[in-house]
Amino acid sequence: MKFLLVLVLIPACVWADHEHGHHDMSYVVKSHDDLVTYRHFCAEKVHASAELVEQYKKWQYPDDAVTRCYMECVFEKFGFYDPEHGFDVHKVHVQLSGAGSTVDHNDETHQKIAHCAETHSKEADSCSRAYHAGMCFMNANLRLVQHSVQV
């Protein structure tokens, strides 16, 4: 189950749009139960097959239309991705740090999140932006993300 939480949190971290200043410092860190609820909702919303859902549980996210929109949906439900504005890097960073943690938005983690979000901010559609930014962050920081969500 921790893997599922990490899955949702990692890509979310990638999509913060800190340049637009739409971050909200009152962001409430979401729980594992929230993640489970979001995963079920989003799998149904995008009509993900049982096979795809099983792949997601194993950290396997194929680059297909269903998976891209599934990831976008989960990030939206977490409250740190918006199709119009992209990711709120600050919220992603707070989520990864966990409830009650002090977050230094000038640290290396924040910069990595911002880099991935910015690198993919010009993709043609929202699902692709969310997916590719999330994969960027996961591929570059998987160990860090796994550690940061072990609550």
For the segment 10-61, what is each residue's pLDDT rounded down to a tens digit? 544 444 333 334 444 688 888 878 888 998 999 999 999 999 999 987 778 9
Contact 10, 71 (CB under 8 A): no
pTM of the model: 0.78
3-state secondary structure of 81: strand
Contact 16, 23 (CB under 8 A): yes
Q: From CA 62, how far away is CA 150, in angstroms rounded?
A: 25
Question: How far is CA 29 from its chain centroid?
Answer: 13
Q: What residue ranges define each of the domains in the chain, with the CATH number in brackets?
A: 2-15+28-148 (1.10.238.20)
Q: What is the CA radius of gyration of the chain?
A: 14
Question: How far is CA 83 from its chain centroid?
Answer: 13
